[in-house]
Each structure stands twice: as C-alpha cells, then as structure tokens.
Structure 1
Amino acid sequence: MIAPKSHSDLPPFPDGLPLAPIARISHNKLLQNDPEEAERVLEACRTHGFFYLDMTDNDDGQTLLGESEDLLSLAYRAFDCPAEEKKKFALVKGVSLFGYKENGTIKLTDPEKRPDTTEFFNVAKDHMHGFAESRTYPTDLTDERHLFQAFTRNAHETCMLVLETLAKQLKLAPDAFANKNIFEEPSGDHCRLTHKFAHHTDKSAIGLPSHTDFGSITMLFNWLGGLQIQSHDPAKKGEWEYVKPIPGHAIINLGDAMVTFSNGLLQSGKHRVIPAPGEQAEVDRYSIVYFVRPHNSVMMEPLEEFKDLSEHLKVAGKFEPEGGKTLTAGEWMRQRSIQLGS
C-alpha cells in the first residue's frame, strides 16, 4: 500500500472539477457565540447538511488536528498487516458495528450492488472509556487507548458545540439536541479508521456507495479527494460534487437522527466515496472519523417543538419499523447496521 505521510506528500487535487459550495465555518467564532457564524451553520444544515470547520484558529481545534494526525499514523500501522489477522476482529453485521469491516461489502441499500473498496476499524467510545464491556481489538489500537480517549472526548465536545448552536438558532433550549447525545451514556459513538485502496485500473469502482449517516453528527478528517455529495442546486438535481479536502479543516455533516429529531427541518446530505481524482487515484486513501449517535435509551422521534410540522418522517428515514413502532436509539442502530450488507 502507498501511505501518504502529510498533505505535502500527496499529488494535488485537480483543477476544474465540480466542487460542492459548502460553507467554511470558524470553530473559534462558534466558541465566541458569533451570531453571523451561527446563522451560517443553520443555513448549511438546512441545505447541504455539510460544512467545513476551520480548526486552525484556536487551541482546541489545533489539539484535535494533532490527534487526527496521530490517529492517521496509527491507521497506517493497523491496516498494514495480513487480512486474516484483521478478520479476527470482524464486526458482526446486524449485532454490532464495532470491530473490523473488510473491503468488498455490498450495501443492501445500494441499487447497483457494487462491492466497496474500503476497509475500516470501528472503535467504540464506550469501550475506550470503560462505559461498557469492551470487545477485543488489535493491540495496535488498544495500546493507543489514551489517544482514542482524548480524540473522542474532544471531537464529541466540538460536535456538541455545533448541536448547541443549531438549538439556539431554532429557539430551543441550548441542550435540546446535546442532551440526546450525552458522552457518558452508552451509545453507538465511535471513532473510525478507514483505508481505501488505490485504483490503478478500475476508475469506476466505488469506495463507499451513496448513503446518509444514521447518527446525529459526523466529524471527518481526510487528506485525499474522493468524497462527493449530491448537489443542492435544483438545476443540478442528482449530480455529484466533490468535497475538496482543505488543510486544517474538518468536514462536518448531520445524520438522519437530526432529521428525525427536527422532523425534516434539518438535512442529512447524501454522500459517497469514489476513486480520488487525477493522480490522487494512485494513492491509498485514509480518513479518521468520529460518529456521534444518540445514546441508546433515546426515543427516535421528533422533539415536541417539531411534532406539528405538516410532513412527518418515518423513523430513521430509510426503514419503517414494524407496526410503526418508535424505536430507541439502540434498537435503531441495530436495524440500520443490517444495511451494511454482506
């Protein structure tokens, strides 16, 4: 595998490609409760469901950037071992999302049924912090428990800042969304280390098929192109646009839980991962992700303030529980994990 060590080692992202016109938000301005920046966050989350978060303008952001780079170095080591060794830690589809997923999975919701080219390790926040009994992980990962603890807590705090900003913009109690994603409560929160193989020949192969995330909010650190979101422009309906990696910025997107809680007022953008463009297709792609999921006991239904909206979404957006039952977040996550496919 070819593992880039920094932005400077990567081939450049090509010019002239369709880029998603998503906002660049200042982490520091959100910390300072800047009203204009808060309005921009709400607009981003009611349209694209994605935005860049500039992590360079304050110490907290710089700390997270450093932790993401440390996890990137860990990912190089974790994936650079025999497939049979990694498979010893395989996740159990339909039971748990935590553990190793090999490449070649066909997602049940993908109409084209193309096997993906991405492998990943999902490392549960609860396991690293002792909030729940842990499954086994490779020693490369468990030896870095303190790094996972620091990254997950810091990433979670940043994601809660976004959710608190949204709540205040919607005239809700500041903790209206955050109190459904309490860090110390058992949940599906996890850090994901991903590795997508370079595409030397088949440029039509898929990294990850189109999907929306099924948690509350996602924070992504990536260093290579390939992420695309569907255009929000009515004139480009169904077309895909690249989310170009920007040094020093995380990529933030909402998940389906926030669509459910807001009864469709907020959006979870559809996205996919394809071969990186241009010369970047010749380089293996790694990313570090933190997924925030509602804690397991939360009921997956709109907040009281949004229950009277004219259009009521079915729970979880992509499947209808039997008998119209309202699921807990723990039940919901197990249902959605089945869609990982085979």
Structure 2
Amino acid sequence: MDVPPFPDDAPTVPIARVSYAALRAGDTVESQKVLTACTTDGFFYLDLTNDASGQELLEEAGQLHGLSKELFDAPVDEKMRYLNDRGKSLFGYKPTGAVKSTDQASTRDTTEFFNASKDHLHNITPSRTYPPGITTSQSLCQSFTQNAHVCAQVIMRTLARQLHLTDENAFARRAEFNAPSGDHLRLTKKSPSPGDSDGQTIGLASHTDFGLVTVLFNWLGGLQIQSLQPENAGQWCFVKPLAGHAIINLGDAMVKFTNGTLKSAKHRVVPAPGLQAAVDRYSVVYFSRPADEAIMEVLPPFLGDETVQIGGKLGEEGERYTTAEWMVRRLVQMGH
C-alpha cells in the first residue's frame, strides 16, 4: 500500500515477531514467544505471509481498507443514519468526539468507527441495519471474520498449551464461532493531524480491550503502548506497522480467566509520526470475545488467595456474572 514511510527516529517498542504457520504447526519456540509477549508487552506481530489462510486474511484486510474509504467518505448525514446506541450497543457508526467516562481529562477522540457484529454478518442473531457498503460486501466481511476468528483461536490454544492447561480449548471453547457474543469487525478512520505526534490530539484515549484476542491490521503509525525497556520504561512508544503482519493483543477477559497471569496492555492512538501524520489513517480490526453466556470467572488452575480485578467489575467479590452482563457495564464506561 502506497503510504509515506514510517520515520526512523520515532520511538518504537521492539515487540516479538511470531510466525502464524509455525503456531498452527505447534512449534514450541514460536509458542513460547507468544506466552512471553502476553505476559510482558501484551502485544506481538503475527507474520501471516507464510500461511495460506494468513495470506487470505491479509488480502481481505486490504479489501476492507478499500471499503473503509468508501464508507467514511459518505456525507455525515448518511453515516449518522447508522449511529450506534451509545452506552448500550457497539454496533453501527461511532462518530468522532467521544469521551470515555473514565478519562479525567475529558479528551474527545478523533476516530470514527463502523462496527459490524459477527453475529449479524453470519445471521446468528437478528441484525441491525448497516450501510449498503457493508451489506453488499457481506461475503467479504463473513470470510474475514471467519478467518480472523480462527486466528484468535489458534492464539488461545497456543496460550493454553504454554500455560500447561489440561484442556487446550479452555479459552477457545468459551468463544465458539456460532455462539452469540460481542465479536465484531471494526473499520476505523482517523483524519490527519499534521504536526502533532505528542499525544495532544488523541485518536483513541488510553484503554485496554474488553475481550479475548484482538487481531489488528493497520498501514500507518499511531498505535502506541507503554514501553517496558529500561531506557524508556513507561514512555508511550509507537508500534510500527509491518507489511504482511497483523498486530495481536489480549483483552481483559483473558486477564480475568487467568487471574492476571496474562496481560491486557494499555494502548492508545495518536497522530502518526512524520509525514504519515498528513494522511488519513485506516485500520481493520477483529475483536474476539467470550460468548454472551460464558461466566466471567477465574479458571480453576489460576485460583489463589486473591482475585485480580478488571475494568467493569460487577457486584460483590465472588459474584458470578456472564460476559453479557459484564459488557453492559463496560459499554457505559465507553462514555458519550
């Protein structure tokens, strides 16, 4: 894709690179890299170029990048016809200007989304209305979400094996494809903010993801995580996009299931560095989440004297609640 180069002098985080083909083959070295990444930085690159289904994912992400331009170039009035029910549902259109309820600075974001439910795309649950661009590209959206879901499950099974769980599907079976859930495809656009790469113009405020595994495709810089490197520990640094790679991170559900053994790292989106700041920034994302009826609880191998708390905690300590109940609380936190 023809974009300005990522500048050599921008501070970056040297996250691990992992081969998707090797993971699918059960390679122990690559699998260990995934566990290390998910207990430290919380992010890693996934090389999709040497696997047929990975190459298909790359091609589909590129096509969805093109679809994004068509969707976001529509007049504002047209996009607002598909507005999501803020605080109650993710699905549909989210304009710029949202403020997270947990953001004390009340910073308005500069990123717009179209979120399309996996359940709606695959007729698992009744659908809301979506723009014609999404409905006429339903087969593309269906294939991408299927392939991305498989990718997420490969990562979940890899982590289960690396954590020496007796059931390698301990995570994956809580996220079966045909089970109603919050899984979704997200198409995003952040308009240019030339000359501002210090975080003053926030694309998306600092946050952790809600679910299990996030599969991200982007072509410009802007994503930042806090570095763990001794020389710049705690500093916000860029995750440089790499051609042929997805960027993978975990969400809070994995933290809950493993009682904090696995990490959902804080991240944010700011203007891209260098010449990239003058270009529209698009991304294509798949969010894998537990099934609505899955119980948000620590799995037995991770039980201990204390239980880690995650965002959107419900009720009293020890109370059982479903993913759907937890998501209601998290949606309220997303702000207005």
TM-score (norm 1): 0.95
Q: Tell me the CA shift for residue 31 of structure 1.
A: 1.1
CA-CA distance at 1:202 after TM superposition: 5.3
Q: Distance in 1 between matches of 2:260 and 2:15?
A: 20
- Aligned partners of 1:282, 1:305: CA distance in 2, in Å? 49
Task: Please give the root-mean-square deviation of Cα atoms over the aligned residues, in Å.
Answer: 1.2
- Pick aligned residue for 1:248 from 244, 256, 281: 244
- Tell me if 1:80 matches 2:73: yes
* Aligned residue among 171, 185, 195 for 1:191: 185
- Are residues 1:214 and 2:207 paired? no
Aligned residues: 332
Aligned equivalents of 1:143, 1:162: Cα separation in 2 = 31
Q: Aligned partner of 1:152: which letter? A: T
Return the letter of the residue paired with 1:297.
E
Q: TM-score, normalized by length of structure 2?
A: 0.96
Partner of 1:330: 324
Task: State the secondary structure of the residue aligned to 1:327.
Answer: coil
Structure 1 outlier segments of 4+, above 4 Å: none
| Shift, 1:235, TM fit | 5.7
Q: 1:263: which partner in 2?
A: 259
Structure 1 residue aligned with 2:276: 280
- State how far apart, in whole Å, the 1-side matches of 2:226 and 2:135 are: 37
Aligned to 1:50: 43
In the TM superposition, what whole-angstrom CA distance separates every residue of 1:241-295 from its partner, at most 9, and x where no partner exists? 1100000000000000000000000001110000000111000100000000100
Q: Is 1:177 the counterpart of 2:176 in the alignment?
A: no
AA aligned to 2:275 is: E
Partner of 1:102: 95
- Name the structure 1 match of 2:54: 61
**Is residue 143 of structure 1 aligned with residue 170 of structure 2?**
no
- Segments of 5+ residues of structure 2 without an aligned counterpart are none
Q: Structure 2: how far apart are the matches of 1:186 and 1:34?
A: 32
Q: Which of 139, 158, 163 is 2:156 aligned to?
A: 163
Amino acid corresponding to residue 251 of structure 1 in structure 2: I
1:313 to 2:308 alignment = yes
1:23 and 2:16 matched:
yes
- CA shift for structure 1 position 233: 3.4
**Residue aligned with 1:290, SS:** strand
Greater mean deviation of Cα atoms: 95-104 or 108-117 = 108-117
Q: 2-side partners of 1:341 and 1:214: how far apart? A: 15
What SS does the corresponding residue of 1:192 show, helix, strand or coil?
Answer: strand
8 A Cα contact 2:224 2:268, kept in partner: yes
Query: Residue type matched to 1:13 in 2?
Result: F
Instruction: Answer yes or no: is the 8 Å Cα contact 2:16–2:44 preserved in 1.
Output: yes
- In 2, the alpha carbon distance for the partners of 1:110 and 1:284 equals 25
Structure 1: tracts of 5 or more residues without a match: 1-5
CA distance in 2, matches of 1:318, 1:235: 30
Aligned-pair CA distance for 1:320? 3.0
CA offset at residue 29 of structure 1?
0.6
SS at match of 1:156: helix
Distance 1:119 1:30 in 2: 33
Q: Residues 58-114 of structure 1: CA distance to partner in whole angstroms, max 9, x if unpaired?
A: 111110000001111110101111111111111112221111000011111223211
User: Match for residue 3 of structure 1?
Assistant: none
SS of 1:322's equivalent in the other structure is: coil
Q: How far, CA to CA, are the matches of 2:45 and 2:80 in structure 1?
A: 34
Match of 1:35 in 2: 28
